Amino acid sequence: LANNPSARRHKFWETQPVGQFRDVADGSLPDGAIEPPTPLSEVRADPYPLPAAFEWFTCDLDDDALLADLYALLAHNYVEDDENMFRFNYSPAFLRWALRPPSFFRAWHIGVRAKESKKLVAFISGIPARIRARDDVVRMAEINFLCVHKKLRSKRLAPVLIREVTRRVHQENIWQAAYTAGVVLPTPITTCRYWHRSLNPKKLIDVGFSRLGPRMTMSRTVRLYKLPDAPLTPGFRQMELRDVAAVTRLLRSYLARYVVAPDFDELDVEHWLLPQEDVVDSYLVESPETHEITDFCSFYTLPSSVLNNATYSTLKAAYSYYNVAVKTPLQQLMNDALIVAKQKNYDVFNALDVMENEGFLKELKFGPGDGQLHYYLYNYRIRNGIKPSELGLVLL
């Protein structure tokens, strides 16, 4: 029973409009909203009650001091790997980027602090997004950065945070959400795997991120992962502001292939894909003859703290984001992405097996990780789920 997540009780999740494990086999349930919207006048007006020592606190990320508090909460208490060797270390600039897309809601940056000390002890966030599921473009919230201080775990604070963000999302007349988690909850629309491509194999082995392969020496390993010094595709260059319209066209027509994908407009592309140092990097191929933009690739920067290592304190990781290969073969385009990431001193390049990524992972020497990432929709059913290769959505 313990090994079978679907047999476990979920006291909170069983009360929510999400696909329930007991319904998985029931093919008669329709796709789309599980529950209709309630009239706005019936949305609860007051925040949910918190334990007496705590209060709700909306984090204004314009304020550098509050941003630093959020950064510190996450840097010390957010996601770790199963062996507690690494912890995500989202940078302050990244958090600002991730939480303030076009038309974001300040009220969806929800903190909990201790009444007396004013110390931030928990957080959850939402951002607005248009996400298409089959032919249905739905206004949703993307929920992320759910975090409860280590000292306050297992006290059922997370359900209160989730209810409160749900209430604030409902107040904007939005009734669906998308989120990912490493844990199994009722019920994933798909389950993806992370793959890792060593760029700095010696450091990755030294910190215990990877191991020397059987019958491999360090020098053979370093040689195996060696990359050219500069990108190989003619016309490969960084994306600029003037490229937003072309990149939007390329991306929109590409993402139309997937069952679940974001519905990006130019404002979204400018926000999510225009390069920002150590936050997001985007490259494209401009045809040297026609100057047409034919291909695009991008990655975001999410370092991890290395816990308990005498030599190293962080791993610099690039995460594959959105890629569109039209004229250049995808494998060649991604090889150029690896080359620029190596030039910029990243230690590892990570990618999920979403979209067409399976087509380059093995060939470009990515290895499968042990972590899984489950994708969820709130109040939206997709009968039988989808395959990772049918998913066109990457959450941060």
Cβ proximity to ligand NHW, 177 vs 244, nearer residue:
177
Is 349 in contact with 323 (CB distance < 8 Å)?
Answer: no
User: Tokens in use for 145?
Assistant: 């950065």
To ligand NHW, the closest distance from the beta carbon of 218 in angstroms equals 34
To ligand NHW, the closest distance from the beta carbon of 4 in angstroms equals 14
Q: Find out whether the peptide bond into 294 is cis, omega within 30 degrees of 0.
A: no
Judged by the rule CB under 6 A, the positions of this chain that interact with ligand NHW are: 10-13, 77-79, 141, 143-148, 153-159, 162, 165-166, 169, 175-177, 179-181, 183, 185, 378-379
Spatial distance between the Cα atoms of 72 and 97, rounded to a whole number of angstroms: 17
To ligand NHW, the closest distance from the beta carbon of 148 in angstroms equals 4
Cβ proximity to ligand NHW, 85 vs 185, nearer residue:
185
Q: Which of 74, 204, 377, 396 is catalytic?
A: 396
To ligand NHW, the closest distance from the beta carbon of 97 in angstroms equals 16
Cβ proximity to ligand NHW, 87 vs 316, nearer residue:
87
Cβ proximity to ligand NHW, 52 vs 183, nearer residue:
183
- For residue 396, indicate whether it is catalytic: yes
Residues 6+ apart with CB under 8 A from 154: none
Cβ proximity to ligand NHW, 105 vs 312, nearer residue:
105
To ligand NHW, the closest distance from the beta carbon of 142 in angstroms equals 9
- Could you give the residue numbers annotated as active site? 396
